[in-house]
Amino acid sequence: MSRPLTHDIELRVNGVRHRSSVESRRLLVHHLRETLGLTGTHVGCDSSNCGACTVLLDGVAVKSCTVFAVAADGADVLTVEGLATDGEMSPVQEGFRQCHGLQCGYCTPGMVVSATGLLLDNPEPTPAEIREGLEGNLCRCTGYQMIVESVRWAAEHGGPGPAAQAHAERATEAGLR
């Protein structure tokens, strides 16, 4: 039996359209890292626990290790590389810098993208809401305290930032968010 195992897909990633041929079993995280070279999105647990692979998919934070690239065909993706605007870090990125919200940095891209997704839904989260909102992201260094402070800093300095706002608005207009 012939089994067509590859598919042509198109993704908009950080504002750029990419056409690729992917194996059906190709996971979005591997497609982003290995095919598109966007290695800011990390693979941690590879089992939808740690959140290191978090990206915004049509305006919502998801774990890209648990999405098939082919199933995301046509989607708009924002990765950590796409959060800055004209070389200026987004408020969340700046918040992690100001409040020292990282140590080794491995979980950081996922934390930053996940926090961005949280602020898109809830622009003024309380510290408790931040902790709950980031329960899908594990950090083994910081004890989370300064991560929570970083997200609070971002909420007080512009929230998710213009790139994420524009990304979310496109998804809302398309009825996907």
What residues line the site for another protein (CB under 8 A)?
A: 3-5, 7, 23-25, 27, 46-49, 51, 54, 57, 60-63, 66-68, 70-71, 114, 117-118, 132-133, 135-137
Judged by CB, which is closer to another protein: 88, or 127?
127
- Give the residue among 21, 28, 26 at the shortest CA–CA distance from 7: 21
For residue 3, the minimal CB distance to another protein (Å) is 5
Cα-based distances in Å from 40 to 24, 30, 106, 111? 23, 12, 10, 12
Q: How far is the CB of 88 from another protein (least distance, A)?
A: 26
Q: How far apart are CA 154 and CA 93, in angstroms?
A: 8
Report, in Å, the least distance between residue 98 CB and another protein: 24
Which CB atom, from 12 or from 85, has the smaller least distance to another protein?
12
Q: Which is nearer to another protein, 15 or 74 (by Cβ)?
A: 74
Q: Decide whether 72 or 146 has the Cβ nearer to another protein.
A: 72
User: In the complex, what is the shortest distance from the CB of residue 17 to another protein, in angstroms, rounded to a whole number?
Assistant: 20
CB-based contact 33:41 (threshold 8 Å): yes
What are the tokens at 151? 């997200």
> Using CA of residue 122, residue 53, residue 36, residue 105, what is the dihedral sign?
positive
Distance CA 9, CA 108 (A): 29
- Contact between 35 and 21 under an 8 Å Cβ cutoff? The reply is no
Nearer to another protein, 3 or 17 (CB): 3
Smallest distance from the beta carbon of 49 to another protein, in angstroms?
A: 7
